């Protein structure tokens, strides 16, 4: 029983990290209608920006994290202005392929600057809290789940209660009608990249805290992130959160019966099943 | 005075021309109806007035200013609003949010305008919190027209506002359009229910192959034998 609870905790932590990435993928698909393959590497970049703050400039953790979120959002806007916005008029496939190129560039950049080795934010071992029955929870795990939940709550409030949040949902629903209504769609696109960039950086940082930093850490998470976005119904940020928890829990629980190396295969299998059984996802999103 | 004018428009969506010299105008306070056979370019002509068509030659003016090359979001700001035939609501947004999106560019307090839309379409007030995608076709059309009224426009353009509606709703929508018109909004609409629409129109245009064929007052077009036989189904 304790083993099972322990795995549920791992699953929720992983699900929270995946959710932050999947929300971004889902929002970008909703607004710009393409699958953003550089999202994993955007997470990696965010994680290393934070490392530069913590290790390079010896800033306090939270300041470094905040700076990394802002810097990643800026990079996301820069990539959109330099590349994606110019390709908007052509087919979504071209955009998708260009984002694969961006993914490779970001990863190489990270490797050139910070090297190919594993790195951590803090040296040493933190002691977990041990509960009755031997259940162990790391302080970082609480921080990850709490941080992710906080960011999601902020996003929820933004989407439901602000003028531009509603405009973002409107544009995801019907971009032509949004334009006809006089909604400034350019601003909505930039906002989308800010949100996606901030959430991707947070996902990367949390992944770095949970495990360690490596130039392909984000790329490896891209499959579960897409699986979660598709599972929840692509274009539906709330679905992405639900999908992420399902994928996170399924991946961790699979270790009860399968070797841990098969975790990505579990995400992949779930993605294939949902695409065959219900291509719009559980929340009736768009079809890729 | 002519509010909105199109002079000799030629153009289309990138391929061949769909509009072959269409001209039309809407005067203050008028209801103007565009009728014609399928493929006559009725909707395209209206979209051209709203910056949604590549106009190759010709001119669109609003209050004597050239708006031919303006994008729709600029034209909206000048007080011309447009209700497309299909996909004319934000389905996952609530009724109230749909109206708020119609008022997106307004910086002032527009709660009075929301109340006016609710007075015009009382069912929307009850369903204000409900997602627009879950409403009936008639109620969705009310949301679509309500959204376009949020800017208190001087010209409201409607593309087949009664398409696919039940007879009960067709009468209701036409009645409300007249009410909107009576409050000082000029109306330009494309309609399949040509007889009904012409009966309440000040003027009508009959388009064929992207060009003007007839232009007259609503009653005169209805009385015209050629128009009746060819375009109104006898």
> pLDDT tier at A282 (50, 70, 90 boundaries)?
confident
Q: Is B116 exposed, middle or buried (0-12, 13-18, 19+ CB in 10 A)?
A: middle
Say what the alpha-carbon torsion angle A269, A270, A276, A277 is, to the nearest 10 degrees: 140
Does residue A72 contact residue A47 with C-beta atoms inside 8 Å?
no
Where residue A209 falls (left for φ over 0; alpha for ψ -120 to 50; beta otherwise) is alpha
Number of A/B CB contacts below 8 angstroms equals 61
Query: For residue B84, what pLDDT band results from cuts at 50, 70 and 90?
Result: very high
B127/B141 Cα distance (integer angstroms)? 14
Confidence tier at A124 by pLDDT (50, 70, 90): confident
The predicted pLDDT at position A233 comes to: 87
pLDDT of A126 over the 80 cut: no
User: Other CB atoms closer than 10 Å to residue B128's CB: what's the count?
Assistant: 15
Residue A76 CA, chain-centre distance (Å), reads 13
Buried residues in A137-172 as b, exposed as e (16+ CB within 10 A): ebebbeebbebbeebbeebeeebeeeeebbbbbbbb
Q: Which residues of A touch B92 (CB under 8 A)?
A: 169, 172-173
Residue of B125, B33, B43, B36 lying closest to B83 (CA atoms): B43
> What's the pLDDT score for residue A286?
67
Contact B216, B35 (CB under 8 A): no
Cα distance between residue A43 and residue A202, in whole Å? 7
A120 inside domain: no
CB contact B88 to A (< 8 Å): yes
Diameter over CA atoms, chain A = 61
Residue A172: closest C-alpha in chain B: B90
Average pLDDT, chain A: 93
Answer whether A174 sits within 8 Å of B76, measured CB to CB.
Answer: no
Residue B193 has pLDDT above 90, yes or no: no
Question: In whole numbers, what is the pLDDT of chain B averaged over residues?
Answer: 92
**Once rounded to an integer, what is the mean pLDDT over residues A146-161?**
96
Domains in chain A, number: 1
At residue B120, the pLDDT reads 95
Q: CA A16 → CA A152, A205, B43, distances in Å?
A: 10, 12, 48
User: Residues B7-65: pLDDT tens digits?
Assistant: 999 999 988 899 999 999 999 999 999 998 888 899 999 999 999 999 999 999 999 99
Q: Is residue A198 part of a domain?
A: yes
CA pair distance A199, A150, nearest whole angstrom: 11
Q: Residue A122: inside a domain, yes or no?
A: no
Q: What is the CATH number for A18?
A: 1.10.3470
Percent of chain A exceeding pLDDT 90 equals: 77
Task: Please give the DSSP secondary-structure letter assigned to residue A256.
Answer: G
> How sure is the predictor about A3, in pLDDT bands with cuts at 50, 70 and 90?
confident
DSSP 8-state secondary structure symbol assigned to residue A128: P
pLDDT digits 0-9 by tens, B155-184: 999 999 999 899 989 999 999 999 999 999
| Alpha-carbon span B234 to B212, nearest angstrom | 20
Q: Do B101 and A178 touch (CB under 8 A)?
A: yes
Q: Is the pLDDT reported for residue B234 higher than 70?
A: no
**pLDDT beyond 90 at B132:** yes
Give the pLDDT confidence of A49-99 residue by residue, as tens digits. 999 999 888 888 889 999 999 999 999 999 999 999 999 888 889 999 999
Provide the percentage of residues in chain B whose pLDDT is more than 90.
81
Six token digits for residue A175: 């971009």
> So where are chain B's domains?
1-79+154-160+185-228, 84-152
Q: Pick from A166, A169, A177: which is nearest to B84 by CB?
A: A177
Tokens of B48: 């051209």
Length of chain B equals 234
- Domain B1-79+154-160+185-228 sits in which CATH superfamily? P-loop containing nucleotide triphosphate hydrolases (3.40.50.300)
Distances (CA, A) of A32 to A80, A174, B104, B112, B186: 11, 11, 20, 34, 35
Residue A132: inside a domain, yes or no?
A: no
Which chain A residues touch B if contact means CB-CB below 8 Å? Answer: 163, 166-167, 169-170, 172-174, 176-185
Interface confidence (ipTM) of the complex:
0.90
pLDDT at A288 over 60: no
CA distances from A54 to A43, A60, A67, A68, A124 (A): 17, 6, 10, 10, 15
Is the CB of residue A177 less than 8 Å from the CB of residue A115?
A: no
Among A7, A15, A4, smallest CA distance to A227 is for: A15
pLDDT at A120 over 80: yes
Q: What is the mean pLDDT of residues A200-218?
A: 96
- Determine, for residues B77 and A182 on separate chains, whether the beta-carbon distance falls below 8 Å: yes
Beta bridge partners of B2: B27
Q: Does residue B109 carry a pLDDT above 90? A: yes
pLDDT of residue A128: 86
Contact yes or no for B50 and A174 at CB 8 A: no
Q: How do the residues of chain A divide into helix, strand and coil, expressed in percent and rounded to 5?
A: 75, 5, 20
Query: Contact A183/B73, CB-based, under 8 Å?
Result: yes
Q: Cα(A275)–Cα(A124) distance, rounded to whole angstroms?
A: 43
Rounded CA-CA distance B131/A267 in Å is 32
Within-domain flag for A28 = yes
Domain that holds residue A66: 2-115+138-277
Ramachandran angles phi, psi of A129, nearest 5°: -80, 130
pLDDT of residue A99: 97
Q: How distant, in Å, are the alpha carbons of A30, B20, B85 from that of A274?
A: 19, 49, 34
CA–CA distance, B116 with B153 (Å, rounded to integer): 13
Give the contacts of A163 (CB within 8 A, at least 6 positions apart): B100, B104
């Amino acid at each position: 029983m304790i083993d099972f609870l322990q795995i549920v905790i791992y699953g929720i932590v992983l699900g929270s990290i995946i959710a932050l990435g999947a929300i971004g993928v889902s929002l970008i698909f909703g607004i710009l209608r393409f699958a953003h393959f550089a999202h994993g590497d955007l997470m990696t970049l965010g994680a290393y920006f934070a490392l530069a703050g913590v290790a390079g400039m010896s800033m306090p953790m939270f300041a470094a994290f905040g700076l990394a979120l802002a810097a990643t959002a800026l990079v996301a806007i820069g990539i959109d202005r330099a590349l994606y916005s110019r390709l908007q008029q052509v087919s979504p496939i071209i955009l998708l392929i260009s984002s694969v190129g961006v993914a490779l560039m970001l990863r190489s950049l990270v490797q050139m600057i910070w090297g190919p080795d594993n790195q951590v934010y803090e040296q040493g071992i933190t002691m977990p809290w041990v509960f009755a029955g031997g259940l162990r929870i790391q302080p970082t795990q609480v921080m990850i789940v709490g941080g992710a939940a906080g960011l999601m709550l902020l996003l929820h409030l933004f989407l439901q209660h602000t003028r531009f949040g509603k405009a973002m949902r409107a544009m995801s629903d019907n971009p032509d009608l949004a334009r006809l209504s006089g909604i400034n769609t350019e601003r909505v696109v930039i906002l989308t990249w800010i949100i996606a960039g901030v959430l991707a950086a947070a996902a990367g940082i949390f992944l770095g805290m949970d495990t360690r930093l490596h130039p392909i850490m984000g790329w490896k998470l891209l499959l579960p992130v897409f699986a979660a976005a598709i599972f929840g119904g692509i274009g539906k940020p709330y679905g992405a959160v639900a999908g992420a928890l399902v994928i996170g829990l399924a991946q961790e629980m699979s270790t009860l019966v399968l070797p841990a190396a098969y975790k990505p295969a579990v995400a992949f299998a779930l993605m294939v099943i949902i695409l065959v059984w219900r291509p719009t996802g559980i929340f009736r999103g768009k079809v890729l | 005075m002519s509010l909105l004018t199109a002079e000799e428009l030629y153009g289309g969506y990138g391929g061949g021309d769909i509009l072959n010299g269409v001209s039309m105008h809407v005067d203050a306070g008028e209801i103007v109806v565009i009728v014609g056979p399928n493929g006559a370019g009725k909707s395209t002509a209206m979209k051209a007035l709203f910056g949604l068509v590549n106009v190759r030659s010709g001119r669109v003016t609003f209050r004597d200013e050239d708006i031919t090359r303006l994008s729709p979001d600029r034209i909206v700001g000048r007080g011309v609003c447009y209700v497309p035939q299909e996909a004319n609501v934000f389905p996952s947004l609530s009724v109230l949010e749909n109206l708020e999106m119609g008022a997106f560019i307004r910086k002032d307090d527009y709660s009075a305008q929301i109340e006016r839309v609710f007075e015009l379409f009382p069912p929307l007030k009850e369903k204000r919190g409900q997602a627009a995608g879950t409403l009936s076709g008639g109620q969705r059309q009310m949301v679509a027209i309500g959204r376009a009224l949020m800017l208190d426009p001087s010209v409201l353009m409607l593309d087949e506002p009664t398409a696919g509606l039940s007879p009960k709703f067709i009468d209701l929508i036409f009645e409300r359009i007249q009410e909107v018109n009576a409050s000082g909004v000029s109306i330009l609409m494309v309609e399949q229910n040509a007889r009904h629409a012409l009966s309440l129109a000040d003027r009508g245009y009959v388009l064929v192959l992207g060009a003007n064929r007839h232009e007259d007052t609503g009653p005169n077009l209805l009385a015209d034998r050629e128009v009746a036989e060819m375009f109104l189904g006898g």
